[in-house]
Amino acid sequence: MRYISTRGQAPPVSFLDAVLNGMAPDGGLYVPERWPDAFEGEVERANCANMSFCVAASYVLEALGGEEALTRDVYDAYLGSPPAPFAFPMHVAPLVQIGPGEWVLELFHGPSLSFKDIALQLIGVMLDRELRARDQRRSVICATSGDTGGAAVEALKGRERVDLFVLTPKGRVSEVQRRFMTTSGAENIFAVEIDGDFDACQSLVKALFADASFAAQAALSGVNSINWARIAAQSVYYHVAANVLCAHGPAQFVVPTGNFGDAYSGWVAEKMGAPIGKIVVATNANDILARALNSGRYQRSPSSLETLSPAMDIQVASNFERILFEALDRDAEHVRRLYAEFGESGGFDIPEAAWVKLREDFQAAAVNDEETEKAMQAAYDDGGYLACPHTAVALAAKWKVDPPLDARPIVHLATAHPAKFPDTVERATGIRPHLPPKCADLFERAEKFDTLPADVEAVKRYIRGRSRAWR
Ligand SMILES: *Cc1c(COP(=O)(O)O)cnc(C)c1O
């Protein structure tokens, strides 16, 4: 299987190169050149309901063109050597019923307690193995205001071939989130607080990649949400959950999302044969996706708003380009034109025929903070379920979608452990959630981080002095 760019001007590459490159050199995103079936025939597909997560993952990744070594990576990532990285190694993502016809798919049982662990654990194993085979090293860099940093630290700590530099805005991440980045104790992990906001961190990362000679000398690599491995790994839990519930008809998924990564992963699973009905895109007040799907215009707003669900406080939904490419019947030239318009004016109208197609697969609703808190409260009062604020955005969106969802199974994706947001959860429900036993000592662990000004040269010097990949 080859991977092509949504902008049509980059040479096709293998699965692994798509993962190592991150973004295509023409500025587009990689997608497979065709959509394969994940399973051969009905029987095998139905069997996926009884497979362990890692067996299902090896089918899906093999269909998507991952080579044989990837199957071993999958076992290392999800079963691991003891202690296993996930609290439920067999299922990784347990399906929990919260009401008649209604479930929560818990994606937060990995080491940093957010759904990002599911993809990043695999990326960590895969990167290290592939770089050893190529006798290379990489400096992985990421800017994060939330959960990606912690998941990347857990995935890359102690890895021989990679050093990780995480840039976070000083004082803008929660204490639990910060501690997941600063307490690994690993020598190849560098948590850096930047004197500035998240946009400043992101501009620094962009500037580092834009300096071609620096990027080459430091062998820079990224693990952000446009990375193909993230989409591929995230599509696995949709296959399993949809097949578990399929006796009652195709499941409808409600997905809290900002970058459109998780919602798009569901669409990918459906394309590869999973019995999925509508996918509901649930956003917070940063509602570019909900506006795009409901109005037909993709338009950024002047600035992002702070909400109770910070991992979705995103202005531009990067992965939207991938679904637009499909809705435009893979017309890369058309994608290029629309994104050129987006670059100039901050928006574009989705062509009518493409918009109609998007609405066949997706519905959308935006949820404000008050509705988020009410949903947390209701889930606890009605069924004793403690939801994190991101999960609550999905719970609330179900009530808001128009037309309403039908009687077939409804699955809400639960993307973070409630204990990652203890203050918000306590305010809404009166209950202060506890950290699970494996990280109960998070607040006692020693922290290690450095502070730098929001200055590109200072960050370059910092990386140059520490990266084992430097040449
Ligand atoms: C990152 C994140 C999301 C949003 O993920 P997308 O890639 O934007 O779909 C939702 N919830 C939590 C807890 C997250 O960390």
- Three-state DSSP at 215 gives helix
- Asked if 374 is an active-site residue, the reply is no
| 62 token code pair | 């093999």
- Please give the sequence-ordered ranges of beta strands (E in DSSP) within 243-383, or none if there are none: 251-256, 276-283, 297-299, 347-349, 362-366
397 C-alpha vs ligand 1 centroid, how far in Å?
15
Residue 13: what pLDDT?
Answer: 97
Mean pLDDT score across all residues of the chain:
94
346 in Cβ contact with 288 (< 8 Å): no
Substitution candidate for ligand 1 out of 257, 318, 395, 413 with most atoms within 8 A of CB: 257
Q: Which atom of ligand 1 is nearest to the CA of 260?
A: 9
User: Could you tell me the pTM of the whole model?
Assistant: 0.96
265 C-alpha vs ligand 1 centroid, how far in Å?
12
234 in Cβ contact with 152 (< 8 Å): no
281 C-alpha vs ligand 1 centroid, how far in Å?
12
Cα–Cα distance between 417 and 114 in angstroms, integer?
6
Cα–Cα distance between 210 and 108 in angstroms, integer?
34
Substitution candidate for ligand 1 out of 105, 224, 415, 420 with most atoms within 8 A of CB: 415
Please tell me which residue, 124 or 81, carries the higher pLDDT value: 124
Q: Which residues are 190's β-sheet partners?
A: 165
233 C-alpha vs ligand 1 centroid, how far in Å?
14
**Ligand 1, atom 5, residue with closest C-alpha:** 257
**Ligand 1, atom 4, residue with closest C-alpha:** 257
373 in Cβ contact with 307 (< 8 Å): no
**Ligand 1, atom 7, residue with closest C-alpha:** 261
The topology (CATH level 3) of 95-113+228-429 is Rossmann fold (3.40.50)
Between 20-24, 150-154, 317-321, 326-330, the lowest mean confidence (pLDDT) is in 20-24
Q: Which atom of ligand 1 is nearest to the CA of 116?
A: 15
User: In this model, does residue 197 exceed pLDDT 80?
Assistant: yes
Other C-beta atoms lying within 10 Å of the C-beta of residue 367: 29
36-81 pLDDT, tens digit per residue, is 999 998 888 888 999 999 999 999 999 998 788 888 899 999 988 7
Cα–Cα distance between 403 and 406 in angstroms, integer?
9
User: Do strands 410-414 and 251-256 pair parallel, antiparallel, or not at all (unpaired)?
Assistant: parallel
359-375 pLDDT, tens digit per residue, is 999 999 999 999 999 99
151 C-alpha vs ligand 1 centroid, how far in Å?
12
Residue 186: what pLDDT?
Answer: 97
Substitution candidate for ligand 1 out of 147, 316, 318, 391 with most atoms within 8 A of CB: 147
Of residues 116, 278, 398, 420, which has the active-site annotation? Answer: 116
**Ligand 1, atom 11, residue with closest C-alpha:** 415
Mean pLDDT of 421-436: 96
Cα–Cα distance between 455 and 194 in angstroms, integer?
9
Residue 21: what pLDDT?
Answer: 85
Residue 273: what pLDDT?
Answer: 96
Contacts of 35 (CB under 8 A, 6+ apart): 268, 271, 272
Ligand 1, residues at Cβ distance < 6 Å:
114, 116, 146-147, 225, 256-262, 311-312, 390, 415-416
Residue 223: what pLDDT?
Answer: 87
Mean pLDDT of 261-265: 97
Cα–Cα distance between 82 and 311 in angstroms, integer?
30
468 C-alpha vs ligand 1 centroid, how far in Å?
31
